[in-house]
Structure 1
């Protein structure tokens, strides 16, 4: 039994609402945090192992790549927390209709951009 229905595999032609973007970004940041934690755990372990290990991590954290990784880790953590609070509020029965859901998604994304900029200023200053 073969069904004849249209298939659109070009994702660039699909316009997703803010709620979809916020939800997908929440999942992506969860996966990114999993991988970012390998750097965090290694740096924490190395810095606590000895005074030399602490100096090694301290010297590595002055480089651009390490600062970029730290900024990325703080940024994905910030969005994941913001998105998590948004989902918890929705689980309590608020912001479930289309208008307030879109507004909360836009607010979460805007707050995340502001926090990402502030984290960049904090890390690179």
Structure 2
């Protein structure tokens, strides 16, 4: 056994409060966890998504209510918070879609199942989903 192998910690029984804060998750692990979180987020925010869809398409009056919700808010909920929730939906949708395509590609292609491809594709998923979220978020918050 080499010196490097002796110095690396072994995690056999992981204690959540002691070991997880110091455990370095690889990019593929982050993508996998975020894929699950984004799916849950989209599921939990489905009523809000349906409300936005309904208000944006029902009539001209409901579309004005929809626009006003983003500008001044609705009731006690400020407009910036509605934009923030919408940004979360945008990120969840983009990340879930791109990570799902990555998973499908790995299921179909046998050459894609390697440590190197797993790392590079995970980093690509994170970069693309965050970059697209930033671009669409800038549009949502009126920066361009």
Alpha-carbon separation, structure 2, partners of 1:112 and 1:51 = 33
1:30 to 32, 39, 43: 39
Q: Does 1:9 align with 2:16?
A: yes
Structure 1 partner of 2:75: none
Structure 1 partner of 2:61: 52
Alpha-carbon separation, structure 2, partners of 1:87 and 1:72 = 22
User: What is the TM-score with the length of structure 2 in the denominator?
Assistant: 0.76
Residues 95 and 104, structure 1, Cα contact 8 Å, conserved in 2: no
Structure 1 segments unaligned to the other structure (5+ residues): none
Please state how far the C-alpha of 1:51 moved relative to its aligned partner: 3.8
1:95 to 97, 106, 112: 112
Within-5 A mapping of 1:73-84: 73-84=89-100
Structure 2 segments unaligned to the other structure (5+ residues): 1-11, 72-78
Alpha-carbon separation, structure 1, partners of 2:34 and 2:99 = 8
Structure 1 partner of 2:3: none
Tell me the C-alpha RMSD between the 2 structures: 1.7
Alpha-carbon separation, structure 1, partners of 2:120 and 2:83 = 33
Moved more, 84-93 or 94-103: 94-103
Alpha-carbon separation, structure 2, partners of 1:7 and 1:87 = 27
User: What is the TM-score with the length of structure 1 in the denominator?
Assistant: 0.86
